[in-house]
């Protein structure tokens, strides 16, 4: 979010007793439904974030002002409760709660924040808010905590305090993202490696505008099918504990053991893991054509083998692939609605948006939201003066 725009929304203007922190949302380039199979994901932080101004004081009270939601929420760091009246505040309360519980002694502060990560679109505005909060409060109290640990604490806040089940990818990339790079994460060990995004492309996210209640029940079904696949495959591959341990060749060899649908679910996961690693190779070689083909193959696999796509996602992907300058396109996120990601040559990005939005709307009678994004840096502190000089 642009600092000058943020400053304009804050009255009175922020003085120098404030410090400023930001943390981004994210998009996953490839590696879908691999996380709970101990596999690989490849997210990038995007240039949309939560911007948070914090003014520490001597006490233990925290006052939260949201620029995007109505209201003010106040709590004491000595007794952090859940606030049903201001649900947005629980992301910040949860982070402070988990940090205090982990032994960090935080400082009370006045907090003003806002953001431009679209909310509830699958770009993880919630992780951006959590990671911004953790980064800010830890810095105010002069703790130097690695991004990996910040991510784990924020995930715990979302799981245990807010009460949303989520993996760790979103917090991880929001904390550890780097400009023009994506992050390969091994979901088994959380080992990670920064991977360059080849220059000259934009990550264009298209929100289909569809949200289907199916997601959580279908998600649980898929997880169950993966577990069933592992249990059967263990009879012939005793060393495995997750689909991560199975190669596409091994799966093909033992196809006859598996019910047909379970086989297809497993085939998505094992080929998707392989595609993530191939995508890493393509990115390191600067090979956008191969990267684009891998995105396309990921979509086909999610659509046909994993069966988590839907008409709107397929339509948007097909329209996207027809546009000039597009290397590849696929659904991203859990599926049954949500977003697509297209890899688009930078000089074609504006024309892409101008063409895809009306074509999609004409096809499905829904207005999409399309966001042209660049792989961006993770959570950081910023000088309060930066935005003003940048805007001048
Ligand atoms: P997402 O896919 O964007 O992470 P979630 O439902 O997980 O969607 O999280 C969205 C919630 O996070 C919002 O309803 C709000 O409570 C909180 N949130 C995110 N961004 C902001 C913001 N800029 N200001 C206040 N609350 C926010
Ligand atoms: Mg979220």
The fold for domain 3-196 equals Ribosomal Protein S5; domain 2 (3.30.230)
Three-class HEC string of 124-141: CHHHHHHHHHHHHHHHHC
Q: Is the pLDDT of residue 389 over 60?
A: no
Residue 170 among the catalytic residues = yes
Which atom from ligand 1 is nearest to the alpha carbon of 90?
A: 16
Cα 156 from Cα 130, distance rounded (Å) = 10
At 187, the pLDDT band (50, 70, 90 cuts) reads: very high
Name the closest-CA residue to atom 4, ligand 1.
124
Q: Which ligand is nearest to the CA of 333?
A: 1
- When mean pLDDT is compared across 10-14, 193-197, 307-311, 383-387, the lowest value belongs to 383-387
Q: How far is the CA of 120 from the centre of ligand 2 (A)?
A: 7
In the chain, CATH 3.30.230.10 sits at 3-196
- Sign of CA pseudo-dihedral 280, 286, 290, 295: positive
> What's the whole-model pTM score?
0.95
In the chain, CATH 3.30.70.890 sits at 204-373
Q: How far is the CA of 121 from the centre of ligand 2 (A)?
A: 9
Residue 213 pLDDT: 81
Strands 72-76 and 337-345: unpaired
Q: Which tops the pLDDT comparison, 387 or 27?
A: 27
pLDDT, mean of residues 128-147 = 98
* Interval 312-367: pLDDT, tens: 999 999 999 999 999 999 999 999 999 999 999 999 999 999 999 999 999 999 99
pLDDT, mean of residues 16-44 = 97
Choose the residue to mutate in 129, 165, 174 for probing ligand 1, maximizing ligand atoms within 8 Å of C-beta: 129
Find out if CATH 3.20.20.80 is the number for domain 204-373: no
* Interval 142-161: pLDDT, tens: 999 999 999 999 999 999 99
Which atom from ligand 1 is nearest to the alpha carbon of 50?
A: 23
Measured N-to-C along each axis, helices 260-284 and 288-304 cross at an angle, to the nearest 10 degrees, of 170
Q: Which ligand is nearest to the CA of 128?
A: 1
Q: Which of 38, 116, 170, 245 is catalytic?
A: 170
239-255 residues labelled b (16+ CB within 10 A) or e (exposed): ebebbbbbeeeebeebe
Residue 386 pLDDT: 56
What is the CB < 6 Å shell around ligand 1?
A: 50, 66, 68-69, 87-88, 91, 114-115, 119-126, 129
Q: Which tops the pLDDT comparison, 4 or 29?
A: 29
Q: How far apart are the first and last CA of the chain?
A: 16
* Interval 41-98: pLDDT, tens: 999 999 999 999 999 998 999 999 999 998 899 999 999 999 999 999 999 999 999 9
With 0-12 CB in 10 A as exposed, 13-18 as middle and 19+ as buried, what is 11?
Answer: exposed
Q: How far is the CA of 244 from the centre of ligand 2 (A)?
A: 25
At 8, the pLDDT band (50, 70, 90 cuts) reads: confident
Q: How far is the CA of 83 from the centre of ligand 1 (A)?
A: 15
């Amino acid at each position: 979010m642009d600092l000058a725009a943020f400053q304009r929304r804050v009255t009175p203007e922020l003085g120098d007793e404030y410090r400023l922190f930001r943390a981004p949302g994210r998009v996953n380039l490839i590696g879908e439904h691999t996380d709970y199979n101990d596999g690989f994901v490849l997210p990038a932080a995007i240039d949309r974030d939560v911007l948070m101004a914090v003014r520490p004081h001597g006490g233990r009270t925290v006052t939260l002002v949201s620029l995007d939601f109505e209201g003010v929420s106040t709590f004491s760091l000595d007794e952090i409760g859940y606030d049903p009246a201001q649900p947005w505040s629980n992301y910040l309360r949860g982070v402070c709660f988990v940090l205090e519980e982990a032994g960090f002694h935080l400082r009370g502060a006045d907090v003003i924040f806002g953001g431009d990560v679209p909310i509830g679109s699958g770009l993880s505005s919630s992780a951006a808010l959590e990671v911004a909060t953790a980064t800010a409060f830890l810095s105010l109290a002069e703790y130097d905590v690695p991004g990996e640990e910040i991510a784990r604490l924020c995930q715990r806040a979302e799981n245990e305090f807010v009460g949303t089940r989520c993996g760790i990818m979103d917090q991880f990339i929001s904390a550890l993202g780097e400009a023009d790079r994506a992050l390969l994460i091994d979901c088994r060990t959380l080992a990670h490696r920064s991977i360059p995004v080849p220059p000259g492309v934009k990550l264009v996210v298209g929100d289909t505008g569809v949200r289907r209640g199916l997601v959580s029940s279908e998600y649980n079904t898929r997880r169950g099918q993966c577990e069933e696949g592992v249990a059967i495959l263990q009879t012939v591959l005793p060393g495995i504990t997750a689909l991560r341990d199975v190669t596409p060749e091994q799966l093909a060899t033992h196809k006859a053991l598996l019910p047909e649908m379970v086989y297809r679910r497993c085939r998505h996961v094992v080929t998707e893991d392989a595609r993530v690693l191939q995508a890493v190779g393509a990115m390191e070689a600067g090979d956008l054509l191969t990267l684009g083909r891998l995105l396309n193959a990921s979509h086909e696999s999610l659509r046909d083998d994993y069966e988590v796509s839907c008409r709107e996602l397929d339509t948007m992907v097909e329209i996207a692939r027809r546009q000039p300058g597009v290397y590849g396109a696929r659904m991203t996120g859990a599926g049954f609605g949500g977003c697509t990601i297209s890899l688009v040559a930078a000089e074609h990005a504006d024309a892409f948006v101008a063409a895809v939005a009306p074509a999609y709307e004409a096809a499905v009678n829904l207005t999409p939201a399309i966001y042209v994004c660049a792989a961006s840096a993770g959570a950081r502190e910023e000088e309060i003066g930066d935005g003003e000089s940048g805007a001048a």
